[in-house]
Structure 1
Amino acid sequence: MRVILHETRSGEPLRELSFSAVTWSTAVCAADDVSVTVPGFTRAAEGLRGLIVPKKMTVTVSDEDGRCLAAGIIGIPEAGEDDDGSPSVTVPGSGPEQAIFERRHVLPYPYGSLVDQQGYPDPRYDTRLSGIEYGTMMKRLYQQAMRHPGGELPVVWESDRGGTRQRGWYAVDGKPVQEAVRDLSELLGGVEWDWVPTLDESDRLRWAFRTGADASPEITSAFWHSWSQGGKSPDIRRLREKVSSEFLASTAVFTGGKDEDRVLVSQRTDPTLINAGFPLMEVWDTSHSSVSEQATLNGWRDARLAEGQTPILYWSFDVRADRAVAIRKGDWCTIDIEDHWWIPDGTYTRRVIGVSGSADDDWLGVTVAGEASW
């Protein structure tokens, strides 16, 4: 495993870091997370104090074949000693969507005063997008933010996809870019997004920005992994199952936009769970204040109610790293269960939504998407 320090804005490599510990994790529609520990009182730590600068520098973690496993723009480094008095510096990092774009706002470049002389919002600085897919909207929001001086990052963009979507953001609202992207992904028909770090032959960091298409909103790859839980040499271990009731609901009430004394409301009750012996549970959602069409609000209500008709099974486990080469969030896998003490025998298909690892472990942590329990 290699850990390399890069300039955030250019991606240029500065120095390979020696380390005593490394952990990393990735997840669908979430920023990469990296933590590197560099031992003190060693040549590895010489000169690092002036290089490990939050935001200005980025760390990448790659395997022996040069595949970048995760990357993070440096957050808050911490130097200190453990209980035995051994010194070290811990360098955490997260992907640009968290480290940068949570603190950038939906504003064009250049822009002036956001209000006119009478104090009314100036519409010249609003952002309006139309005639494209949701994924391309996300890309345009990031690209607009990166046009500002100092906003550049080394990114390879996917091609535009034309469509029928339209959306707008008022400049005076100061909407964080990442919040706007997250809102798009959570819309009815919204799509997934991903910042994929890559290293070229000169160890330069580049981010590949990817999104799902309107017709296929999930980001998947060509890799399909097959693992077995039983037998003398199983591929997975520590299989854990949770049964969650967090989404259960028999009644859903959704509110939309307000106009003077009127408010858009959509409500519905499904007696399926009650008839099956469950106590009444309700969900009240006020997060769709921008919705002005009854049919759209009804769609949100129906989707949420359908989601809440069964407890959800969640699996997580460890898989041998050599049986999960090039695994990424979004991949699909087939898991053969045999003689498990809790889960029935069978072949189960699941989608990988999270991967984690460390420098001193031959196993990777995997989380798969939840499935209905019946």
Structure 2
Amino acid sequence: MTRYFIGDLRSRSLAVRNLDVLSGPWSDRIGAPESVDVTVDMNSPEIRSLNLRNVATPAKAYLGVEEGGVIMACGPIWTRNYDRDAGTLKLGALGWGSYYNHRLILPLLAKTIGLDQWTVPDPADPTKTIPNPLLSTVINGVSLGTRAKRLIQQAHLWTGGALPIVFQDDELADLTKTYLGADFKSVGEAIKQISELENGPEMKFQSRFTTDGMGVEALFRTGTVAQPLLTSQSVPLWDLTAPQSAASGLKIDEDASEMGSMAWQTGGRQADTVLVARAYDPLLVDAGYPLMELADTSHSGVSVQATLDSYAADDVAAGRYSTETWSFTAQAKPVDADGNPAGPAVGSYAVGDFADLGVAPFDPATGRGDAYLQDGGPFRHRIVGLSGDEKGDSIKIQLAPKVGI
């Protein structure tokens, strides 16, 4: 059963446990906050009794959606739109991580220190000033995921600044990072940058009901040094060509715009010089493709030739193939004619998990199988997006772009 709910951000307590909605699309994607958008009928006596102007206050309340006890998306309400003539109210919420775009990386001292003390004389040159080190946030000896955790925990030290977030244990690592207070960088921006580092961990605020069932909290999950990806051990299987399959609507979008046999890289600008790297792979040309070139100027700060060469080599390796992106629709709770489970049910898989898609080989005599994927076989992809609506009948599943299928 699809159910929408509203609660108080800071206290985590539920205020509305079953919100009747006209529409309620939601989505969850890797690298982006979850989203929930609902429209309710203000002409309904039940809705009027909820006093949503006070209960569903933007930036003070959360909105979420669950499927069979599993929260699919939840977070602070940021937008509210009332249309009196239409008799509707729209609420828009984003995942818990969106809150930290509104918090800065600052120690508690920043609240009370004199504004004339944000800079101090430079010990190396007293005629100059530097940012006051007391306002810096220094995080050392922990992994990238724990660094993000520490940034959130520091933000929670401020009065009124704590959300109901549960954290994993620390992970140690020989890393150090300093954030200057005078940069006024948001916690959300820093977390995003940590994830985007090479081998940076994936991160997710995973919503769940509290053990007493009276509220909602979120587990801040991060990948580890050994396993940066957030994924489970189970791999659901959808058989796309089986009779009465629980999956339908398969779409495969292919993009060859990043293919190429010759790759160029430029760097050295920060060292006031010009570095050029070049790599060539004859595979495509030998197979009858026309020559295609790739150029990347985004590594202008690289001053080591070998490093630039490796980027060019990576480009031609990736350029051998087009990119395919698969998506399909799955029944939320598939059952057979006897009412028994007949495929993966919503809540048993999540964004980040791997999934197998079964496709039968094409038989031209009978027309069975898949006429496009004629060799058939299981195809393994990673789930990067889930979305649904108030009907709760089906889940749209977006799979990670795949190169070299």
1:131–1:59 distance in 2 versus 1, CA, 3 Å: same
- Supply the distance in 2 between the matched residues of 1:95 and 1:331 (Cα, whole angstroms): 19
Map residues 215-254 of structure 1 onto 2, 5 A cutoff: 215-248=226-259, 250-253=262-265
1:243–1:278 distance in 2 versus 1, CA, 3 Å: farther
Map residues 131-280 of structure 1 onto 2, 5 A cutoff: 131-200=141-210, 201-248=212-259, 250-253=262-265, 255=267, 258=270, 261=272, 267-272=277-282, 275=285, 276-280=289-293
Matched position secondary structure for 1:44: helix
1:282–1:122 distance in 2 versus 1, CA, 3 Å: same
Aligned to 1:311: 322
Which of 379, 383, 391 matches 1:348?
A: 379
Identity %: 25
Map residues 273-312 of structure 1 onto 2, 5 A cutoff: 275=285, 276-286=289-299, 303=314, 306-312=317-323
- Supply the distance in 2 between the matched residues of 1:357 and 1:195 (Cα, whole angstroms): 19
Is 1:10–2:11 an aligned residue pair?
Answer: yes
Map residues 44-55 of structure 1 onto 2, 5 A cutoff: 44-46=46-48, 47-55=51-59
Q: Deviations over 1:226-257 (max 9, x none)?
A: 11111320121111111123544542426478
Aligned to 1:93: 93
The gaps in structure 2 that reach 5 residues or longer are 122-127, 334-343, 361-368
Deviates more, 1:304-313 or 1:352-361: 304-313
Q: Give the Å deviation of 1:292.
A: 8.1
- Supply the distance in 2 between the matched residues of 1:258 and 1:128 (Cα, whole angstroms): 26
Aligned to 2:365: none
Task: Calculate the TM-score normalised by the size of structure 2.
Answer: 0.82
Deviates more, 1:177-186 or 1:108-117: 108-117
Aligned to 2:336: none
1:107–1:197 distance in 2 versus 1, CA, 3 Å: same
Q: Give the Å deviation of 1:220.
A: 0.7
Q: Give the Å deviation of 1:298.
A: 6.3
Is 1:334–2:364 an aligned residue pair?
Answer: no
Matched position secondary structure for 1:74: strand
Q: Give the Å deviation of 1:206.
A: 0.5
Q: Give the Å deviation of 1:119.
A: 4.8
Whether the 8 Å CA contact 2:239–2:359 is kept in 1: the answer is yes
Whether the 8 Å CA contact 1:252–1:305 is kept in 2: the answer is no
Which of 28, 32, 35 matches 2:34?
A: 32
Aligned to 2:338: none
In structure 2, give the amino acid aligned to 1:340.
D
1:45–1:254 distance in 2 versus 1, CA, 3 Å: farther
- Supply the distance in 1 between the matched residues of 2:182 and 2:92 (Cα, whole angstroms): 33
Deviating above 4 A after TM superposition, structure 1's stretches of 4 or more consecutive aligned residues are 254-257, 291-305
Q: Which has the larger radius of gyration?
A: 2
Matched position secondary structure for 1:318: strand
Matched position secondary structure for 1:159: coil
The gaps in structure 1 that reach 5 residues or longer are none
Instruction: State how many pairs are aligned.
Output: 365
Aligned to 1:360: 391
Aligned to 1:102: 101
Q: Give the Å deviation of 1:272.
A: 4.2
Q: Give the Å deviation of 1:222.
A: 3.2
In structure 1, give the amino acid aligned to 2:102.
R
